[in-house]
Structure 1
């Protein structure tokens, strides 16, 4: 699913109306962000029902707690953070763990969509396989930071908020990820993956 970029001028209105009890505002927020949340969730788990359940839980919780809601600076970030927490809690419950505790060891599958214009079709599959094998050698935290930065166009401040780390930590995670890619890839493949990341960022600018 392709993430939907929202019209930032309309989001405060939707949020305000939701807090006032307008069910149509909740529906509008769902339409704006459900695809992006599903895409994010699919990196954590292949269980489609679990992902959909977590998305539903986030929006049900928002509606139930609407009278106590504040005004987040970035609604998408708020939803991503709440959804991420829901996914981790759900995974822990399924594994029969009593308490929720995030660790470095959680699943997050990275994938690439390589534009055909950049490389001939016969080499596309081989290149994608090489790059994805390398990405999956990174830590889950590094893969998630790369996804948020280059596929969701999040700033380092936003990545830190979603992943519940400091801004300095977000820079450190990303820096280590890029360093690892540089060490693991050939110069040609490393240059190409940076080009792909740049293209992804430009698509959202």
Structure 2
């Protein structure tokens, strides 16, 4: 389903088309779960949040805007519901202590090595990724694994586009420095660095 058809299904759903509503659910439920489980390790919280999200969409569809970026809207809405649910299930002091996001990128999707050290290098890369600040990890996940634009990532994370680019630029720069003794460093630069990052002042 193309982005254009996503919008078409969204608009049909708002007008009361139940088949369009089911189609949106089928298209996005797995991606939403994959994102939510990285934000919250409790599968039941994530599943309940997805359920609540679609219940609310159906209940309040007459109030929804027909002109939204569907993917970003759903991801952002799920993010807020997971946060609210986590706050209800754990104490505020514990929640405020750490903002956690598990990256677990499938690095093979972006980087291919040809020598015997492939597993060793990829293992080190994953370990270094896990050391990144959680918001940088989330930005990387949304930008590259979910293939979202900077505008979409910024909307979901409730940050400016400039901040989104900064998160990603700093994450890639940090990874390159940590991996500088491996040939993967230059591959990281090519695969991840925003095309205009070097021209910015960040």
Interval of TM-score (by shorter of Structure 1 and Structure 2): 0.7 to 0.9
TM-score (norm 1): 0.82
More displaced 10-residue stretch of structure 1: 52-61 or 116-125: 116-125
Q: CA deviation at 1:130?
A: 0.6
- Cα distance change of structure 1 residues 158 and 131 upon mapping to structure 2, 3 Å threshold: same
In the TM superposition, what whole-angstrom CA distance separates every residue of 1:35-59 from its partner, at most 9, and x where no partner exists? 1111111211232222111111111
Please say if residues 149 and 159 of structure 1, whose CA atoms lie closer than 8 Å, have aligned partners that are also in contact. Answer: yes
- Cα distance change of structure 1 residues 65 and 121 upon mapping to structure 2, 3 Å threshold: farther
In structure 2, distance between residues paired with 1:62 and 1:121: 50
Name which of 172, 177, 186 aligns with 1:178. Answer: 172
Q: CA deviation at 1:13?
A: 2.4
- 1:151 matched to which residue of 2? 145
Q: Return 5+ residue gaps in structure 2 as ranges.
A: 194-202
Name which of 131, 144, 163 aligns with 1:169. Answer: 163
More displaced 10-residue stretch of structure 1: 102-111 or 72-81: 102-111
Q: CA deviation at 1:121?
A: 8.4
Name which of 67, 81, 89 aligns with 2:84. Answer: 89
Root-mean-square deviation over aligned CA pairs = 2.5
- 1:107 matched to which residue of 2? 100
- Mapping of 1:41-80 within 5 angstroms? 41-80=36-75
Please say if residues 104 and 141 of structure 1, whose CA atoms lie closer than 8 Å, have aligned partners that are also in contact. Answer: no
In structure 1, distance between residues paired with 2:173 and 2:189: 12
Please say if residues 7 and 69 of structure 2, whose CA atoms lie closer than 8 Å, have aligned partners that are also in contact. Answer: no
SS in 1 for 2:68: coil
- Mapping of 1:10-29 within 5 angstroms? 10-29=5-24
- Cα distance change of structure 1 residues 58 and 192 upon mapping to structure 2, 3 Å threshold: same
SS in 2 for 1:91: helix
In the TM superposition, what whole-angstrom CA distance separates every residue of 1:160-179 from its partner, at most 9, and x where no partner exists? 11100011111221122122
In structure 2, distance between residues paired with 1:38 and 1:178: 26
TM-score (norm 2): 0.83
More displaced 10-residue stretch of structure 1: 107-116 or 173-182: 107-116
In structure 2, distance between residues paired with 1:148 and 1:109: 12
Aligned pairs, how many?
Answer: 190
Q: Return 5+ residue gaps in structure 1 as ranges.
A: 1-5, 199-205
- Cα distance change of structure 1 residues 183 and 125 upon mapping to structure 2, 3 Å threshold: same
Q: CA deviation at 1:75?
A: 0.4
In the TM superposition, what whole-angstrom CA distance separates every residue of 1:135-166 from its partner, at most 9, and x where no partner exists? 11110000001111111121211111110001
